[in-house]
Every structure is written in C-alpha cells, then in structure tokens.
Amino acid sequence: MNLALFDLDCTLLAGDSDFEWGQFLIAKGILDPEIHAAQNAVFYQQYQEGNLNIDEFLAFQLAPLARHSRKELDAWHLEYMQHHIRPIIGQKARQLVRQHLDRGDLCAVVTATNSFVTGPIVREFGIAHLIATIPAFENGQFTGKPRGLPAFREGKVVRVESWLESLGLCWESFAESRFYSDSHNDLPLMSSVDHPVAVNPDNTLRALAQEKGWEIISLR
C-alpha cells in the first residue's frame, strides 16, 4: 500500500480556500473589505516569508465563524462551494487524486486551513481523510479558537503521524509515501515522505526542489 498526502491551497486548488472564504463573506456584506484585506495582506506576507504567527492568524481566520450560527454558516458554504471553489478545481488536480484513489492508495489532505472551510472541498475530491486545523465548537457554536495542534509546518508532521497511529500504521507501513505541496512552509512534511512533489511551487520551494532533485509538476 502507498500513502498519498496533498496540500490543498494553491496545490489541489488553483487558489486559496481561506482567501476565497473571506472574499465570499465580504461579498455578502459580512466582513469589512478594507479591514479584512489589510489584515489578510499582513498575514500573507508573513506566510510567504516563512514567519507566520499561526496563533494570531487563527484568531483572525476563525473569528467570523464564532459570530454566526452553524446552520447559517452551512448554508453559506454551499453557495461558496458553487461560486468560489468549484471554479478553481482543475481537471489535472481531479485526475491526480483519482489516479491515487484508483490504485488503492491511502489518501489524505493535510492543510492549515480550518476543517469547516475545507471539509466539503476535500469531499468534492472524493478523499475520505482530512487533517486540518480544527475550529473549537461548543454548545452548538464555533468559539473562534482552534482545538488542539494546528496543522501548520511541523504541526502537519505531528498530526499526520498521530492519524497514522490511530489507523495502526506508521511511515514504514507504506511501500511509498508522497506529499504534494506548493509551499516552502510544508518542508517539514515534505522531508518526512520518501517522494516529495513540488506543485506549482513558490520560488523558495522550487529552488530547493531543483537542488534536491524532487519532482516538480504543474496542475494548472
């Protein structure tokens, strides 16, 4: 059996699901466009530079969930999927996932974006397993805080290993393990598999992939 792990944003998607969720909420008049855009730009710059403060970012990312009921959020998500997400799912990405599923590989998406936003997207690809940052949920309402370790940088490795252990598996259980990602922020997990694949990589990851002889592909 082989293991196939996929980053989501700018990897399987030709865009960022969290950014698109913010744009959707702005279009609905739920978020202030100037305030949200300014804050988002700061965090995006930190992410690109590899020094994102994940706790501050999650406080920003998860806050809108806490202001609305789950019923209302779920209804919005259906609209968001239709107009913001399906248009940025390319055929090459769907085919790549289908190839791994058809081979019987154990597949999972591993993403820092919260599981409320990403869960339906992962199901759209037909992938059963999602390892994402978990938004805390109490008394029928999101709290605006994360629960447990965020699936970011080294946290992705910890979360994947915990998931594998829950299945009675480990890295050595697989003939081959792959991780597809676009970002240098995913180097900890890319270094944990035996076949890292750079997908439309950022400049830092592209240079390192070329240096190490990692496979580089495009899903666009």
Tens-digit pLDDT string for the chain (220 aa) = 999 999 999 999 999 999 999 999 999 999 998 888 888 888 888 888 888 888 898 888 899 999 999 999 999 999 999 999 999 999 999 999 999 999 999 999 999 999 999 999 999 999 999 999 999 999 989 999 999 999 999 999 999 999 999 999 999 999 999 999 999 999 999 999 999 999 999 999 999 999 999 999 999 9
- 202, 182 Cβ separation under 8 angstroms: yes
* Helix axis angle, 115-124 to 70-80, nearest 10°: 40
Number of domains in the chain: 1
Catalytic residue at 202?
A: no
Tens of pLDDT along 110-119? 999 999 999 9
Q: Are residues 214 and 7 in contact, defined by beta-carbon separation less than 8 angstroms?
A: no
- 9 is annotated as an active-site residue: yes
Q: Which residue has the tokens 């480990």?
A: 170
Q: How far apart are CA 93 and CA 200, in angstroms?
A: 12
Among the listed residues 9, 16, 105, 186, the single catalytic one is 9
The burial of 22, by beta-carbon neighbours within 10 Å (0-12 exposed, 13-18 middle, 19 or more buried), is given as buried
The two tokens of residue 23 are 């744009």
E strands, 54-190, are: 106-114, 129-138, 141-147, 176-181
Which CATH number fits the domain that encloses residue 203? 3.40.50.1000
Report the candidate in 118, 150, 171 with the shortest Cα–Cα distance to residue 11: 118
Catalytic one of 7, 18, 105, 186 = 7
Cα gap 36→14, rounded to integer Å: 22
Contact by Cβ (8 Å): 215, 197: yes
Domain that holds residue 89: 2-217
